[in-house]
Amino acid sequence: MRRLAVAAVALGGCLALAVPTGTAGAAPADPVPTVFFGDSYTANYGISPVNNQDNERGWCFQATQNYPAVATRSLAGKGITLDVQSDVSCGGALVEHFWTEQQLPFGAGRVPAQQDALKEDTKLVVGGMGGNTLGFTSILKQCSDELRKHPLLPGEPVDPDQPAGECRDFFASDDGKAWLDDRLQQVEWDLEQLLQRVSYFSPDAERVLVGYPRLVPEDTTKCLTPAPGQTEPPFADTPKDALPLLDQIQKQLDDAMKKAAADDGADFVDLYDRTGNNTACDGADRGIGGLLENSKLDLFGQSLPWYAHPNEKGRDIQAKYVTAKIEEVLNR
């Protein structure tokens, strides 16, 4: 009842939402009006240069060559032209920023709700959100004394009074587990809202929700060794016994995203299941930059860390699987 009530209000009383279906045939001959949305993993924070350096959107840290740009170029080589109406992906975005404006860091201003980019003639909507709504940066800071020393890095510990070295037990306890369960439920609910809103504002659009690449490998002993050229382990001082916990939480996030997409008839790009050999702990093969490893960005002359975001290799992996999914969707 809660979901029906909120959806009715949010979507102007429209209780029956059109869900787009694929049509048989070859790839479209005409350019496909497309909107990309998402958070820092779609914007590809950490990769330089960034778009919109002359206005407040520069604080979204959206890479000029983020995976939407790379995938668009790759599809063009396959004879599929995307008419990109907008790429509104922005670092730090919560799922709710799809329908509400987002406050940028350091008082840099606000950006409009991402859904404002949708048009009635939009035929393809692609992107991913959920990690910030889950509070993954807060989970990381709950498990690291070193990260707690960096106030400019986003996120606050879930409970700063609890020692970072005991974070595994914290998230298994009543308070920590209840916090995590609530956040996962919120992610799923908000993503359902997001997908419904896409169908409302762009009723003919195919919807592709993109998941997150895997951060922690199955063999967590690899995470105890710095990557080539680095001095810090990929997850800094995160306790060894907490690394499987981080992976478990990310898998729960992936499952919540997958379920939201399936329940709403959208397509899903499952990057978690495809990136087990390119985690932050895979050395030269890593597709994820370490928590404190310098990225390609700097702020006020100081290098910004990757903070567990895709590097160029990871960006290309994202683009590869997003390209394949878009091609599949547009060819069916």
Cα separation, 214 vs 211, in Å, equals 9
Catalytic annotation, pick one of 40, 138, 199, 295: 40
Backbone φ and ψ for 31, nearest 5 degrees, come out as -55, 140
Written as six digits, the tokens of 297 are: 């960005």
Q: Which of 186, 146, 188, 182 is CA-nearest to residue 167? A: 146
Q: Which residue has the tokens 């429209």?
A: 14
Residue 97 appears among annotated catalytic residues = no
First vs last C-alpha separation in the chain: 35
**How many other CB atoms are there within 10 angstroms of residue 30's CB atom?**
8
Residue 309 appears among annotated catalytic residues = yes
Cα separation, 209 vs 198, in Å, equals 11
Cα separation, 128 vs 114, in Å, equals 12
Catalytic annotation, pick one of 74, 89, 144, 309: 309
User: Is the C-alpha dihedral spanning 98, 101, 103, 107 positive or negative?
Assistant: positive
Q: Which residues are catalytic?
A: 40, 309
